[in-house]
C-alpha cells in the first residue's frame, strides 16, 4: 500500500498556508492600484470635459468658467454609475458630488473623494479616503 504520511501532508498544508499568506495581500494591493488607476482615468476624463466647457463658456460669454457640478459635463459613461443628485454614493462604482467633493464608491464599499472648486478651476489629482 502506497500513500502519503501524515508529516508529508502537514508540510504540504503548511506550505500552502504560507503561500496564501503572501499572495492574498499582494492580490488585494493589486486590486487597490487598479481602482486608483481607474479613478484617475475617470477624473482625467472629467478634467478634459471641464476644459472643453470652459472654452465654450469663453466663446459664448467671454468669461472662462467651470460648472458648479463637475459631473454635469459628462455624456454617457461606460462601466460607472454617475448620479447628478448631490450626496454620497451608495452603490458600487458610483460617482456623486456634494458641492465640494467628488465621491467614488469602490467595489469594496470604501468611499474616496476628489476635491473640486469651480471658482478656482481645481480638481484634485489624488483621492482621499472618507
| Domain boundaries along the sequence of the chain | 35-129
pLDDT at 122: 93
Angle formed at CA 57 by CA 56 and CA 63, multiple of 5 degrees: 135
Structural contact between residues 94 and 80, judged by C-beta atoms closer than 8 angstroms:
yes
Count CA atoms within 13 Å of residue 81 on its CB side.
15
CA 3/CA 98 separation, integer angstroms:
64
pLDDT at 116: 95
Mean pLDDT split into 10-residue runs, the chain, 130 residues: 84 92 88 91 93 93 92 86 90 93 92 94 91
Amino acid at each position: 500500500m502506497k500513500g502519503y504520511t501524515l508529516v508529508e501532508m502537514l508540510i504540504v498544508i503548511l506550505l500552502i498556508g504560507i503561500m496564501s499568506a503572501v499572495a492574498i495581500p499582494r492580490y488585494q494591493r493589486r486590486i487597490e492600484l487598479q481602482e486608483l488607476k481607474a479613478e484617475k482615468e475617470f477624473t482625467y476624463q472629467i478634467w478634459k470635459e471641464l476644459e472643453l466647457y470652459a472654452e465654450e463658456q469663453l466663446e459664448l460669454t467671454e468669461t472662462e468658467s467651470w460648472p458648479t457640478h463637475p459631473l454635469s459635463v459628462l455624456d454617457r459613461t461606460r462601466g460607472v454609475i454617475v448620479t447628478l443628485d448631490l450626496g454620497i454614493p451608495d452603490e458600487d462604482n458610483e460617482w456623486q458630488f456634494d458641492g465640494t467633493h467628488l465621491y467614488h464608491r469602490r467595489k469594496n464599499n470604501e468611499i474616496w473623494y476628489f476635491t473640486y472648486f469651480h471658482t478656482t478651476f481645481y480638481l484634485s489629482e489624488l483621492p482621499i479616503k472618507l
